[in-house]
Structure 1
Amino acid sequence: MDSILITGAASGIGLATARRFHTNGWRVGLLDVNEGALQAVHAELGERCWYRRLDVTDMGQCEAAVAAFAESAGGRLDVLFNSAGVLRMGHFEDLSAEQHRFTLDVNVAGTLQMCLAALPYLKQSRSPRVLNMSSASALYGVPHLASYSASKFAVRGLTEALDLEWRRHGIRVQDLMPPFVNTGMVNKQTFEAPVVRRMGVKLSADDVARAAFDTLQGDPRVHVPVGLPFRFTVLLEKVMPQRATRALMAWLSRD
């Protein structure tokens, strides 16, 4: 039985992905900082479901969680899905240094640490994969989401590097790049970035979960844009001069 370990699994994209893989017969491991929500998901899914509270910024917790799940799954891990993430919208100077740093700690350090912790167990799998949550915000820096955008550029770079470096272990590393998704992370913001208002929030968590499942069926791309409008944007970005991309972003983000 294939196994997938998902961070941020108690809500949003992580939860939708856990449900989709579980429905398709996978053994799923749920990791999240919200233990109460994890217990509710575990009760919902039942068999072939394992959970543990995890703060992805704590390397010791990452190592212990991955080891425990791998032990429960016969000593190996087939897929690591780094879905845990945080978002703070606002004018750059209106957010505290602590808020910016927390975004980088969760989105970048958390992803990096989970990759390190998972490597020994991924190497035991027949077809190991790592899937990271990047973002459309990694295509061009987004005003009012500066530290979030920076974190997703970092995830994009990490994904590219590891996909090449970990070939020697037989591990594929890919990322998903959706624009804004209809989850609490976006909907509960106290500041609405102009780019959100102009682009709209058109993707659901289920849309991204479907993309995750489809990607792991053998999609060869390192970066997987999610949603037809953003796939079109990615194509345009390849042929437009950078000043055109910058002008578009300036318009979308105008206060």
Structure 2
Amino acid sequence: MRKIFISGGAQGIGRATAEKFLSEGWLVGIGDVQPAPWAEGIENLIVTHLDVTDPESWDKALAEFTAHTGGELDVLDNNAGIIIDGPLADEDPARIQKIIDVNVTGLTLGARAAHKYLKATPGSHLVNISSASAVFGQPGIAAYSASKFYVNGLTEALSLEWEKDGIRVVDVMPLWAKTPVADVSAASVRKLGVNLTTEQVADAVWESVNPKNRWQRGRLHYGVGIVDKLFYVAGQWAPDRVARLVTKIVAG
């Protein structure tokens, strides 16, 4: 039985991902600061308390989960994340610090804590949940968008650093999905709508850790819907001034 641990797994994309992998016969662990009453009594599901901003909490949660797996971990899904919106100049510094603590520090601590378990497991994966807002910085959600650029950078760095350890590192970059994260005033929500389901994002996570051939295994960044995949391709190939103009129209 293969094993996945999902941070922020109590609700939203994390819950959908847990349910997806459970349906495929995996042993699933979820860690969250929030309770997960839906998870009670489900076979092959282990729930632990996890504060992603606390390195000791990461160590404890992963130790509890891997006590059931012989010390192995096929996938860490670094899913936990939060958002703030509005003009950056008007934002409360404490809220800015919080989003960096969760989206940047928390994700990094998760990767660090999971490394020894992933290294012990042939064919293992680290999956970081990023965002289409990491294609070009988004006004109105500047701190969130910047935190997701960090996610992509960490994915790329660790894909090289951990290659020698047999760990494949990828990220998933959805546009707005139907979760509380999309309950913001960002212009892109109004103009593009919230069209992705949590199940679609979970399917993309599944695809990312089950590449069908060597070409797919070489991918680092996974889109979810047609729109976010087009944004990613355009962001890679369009000149900066074109990408900026498109972003201004969509999100300005």
Do these two structures clear the TM 0.5 threshold for a shared fold by scoring above it?
A: yes
Cα deviation 1:197-237 (Å, max 9, x = unaligned): 11111101001001111111114210111111221222223
Match of 2:123 in 1: 127
Amino acid in the other structure paired with 2:197: S
Match of 1:42 in 2: 39
Task: Measure how far apart 1:124 and its partner are.
Answer: 1.2
Q: Find the partner of 2:187 among 188, 194, 200.
A: 194
SS at match of 1:174: strand
Task: Measure how far apart 1:104 and its partner are.
Answer: 0.8
TM-score by length of 2: 0.95
Match of 1:215 in 2: 208
Q: Which runs of 5+ in 1 are unaligned?
A: none
Amino acid in the other structure paired with 1:216: V
Amino acid in the other structure paired with 1:149: S
SS at match of 1:214: helix
Match of 1:103 in 2: 99
TM-score by length of 1: 0.94
CA RMSD of aligned residues (A): 1.1
Match of 1:242 in 2: 240
Match of 2:160 in 1: 164
Deviates more, 1:236-245 or 1:135-144: 236-245
Q: Distance in 1 between matches of 2:155 and 2:242?
A: 27
Q: Which runs of 5+ in 2 are unaligned?
A: none
Residue 88 (str. 1) matches residue 84 (str. 2): yes
Q: Distance in 2 between matches of 1:33 and 1:129?
A: 24
Aligned-pair identity (%): 39
Task: Measure how far apart 1:127 and its partner are.
Answer: 1.3
Task: Measure how far apart 1:165 and its partner are.
Answer: 0.5
Query: What stretches of structure 1 move > 6 A for 4+ residues in a row?
Result: none
Task: Measure how far apart 1:69 and its partner are.
Answer: 0.7
Amino acid in the other structure paired with 1:237: G
SS at match of 2:52: coil
Amino acid in the other structure paired with 1:18: A
Alignment of 1:2-81 (within 5 A): 2-35=2-35, 38=36, 40-43=37-40, 46-81=42-77
Alignment of 1:140-155 (within 5 A): 140-155=136-151
Match of 1:232 in 2: 230
Amino acid in the other structure paired with 1:234: Y
Task: Measure how far apart 1:47 and its partner are.
Answer: 1.1
Q: Distance in 1 between matches of 2:38 and 2:119?
A: 28
Task: Measure how far apart 1:147 and its partner are.
Answer: 0.6
Residue 116 (str. 1) matches residue 112 (str. 2): yes
Cα deviation 1:106-164 (Å, max 9, x = unaligned): 01111100111111111111211000001101111000111101100001000000011
Q: Distance in 2 between matches of 1:120 and 1:232?
A: 36
SS at match of 1:203: coil
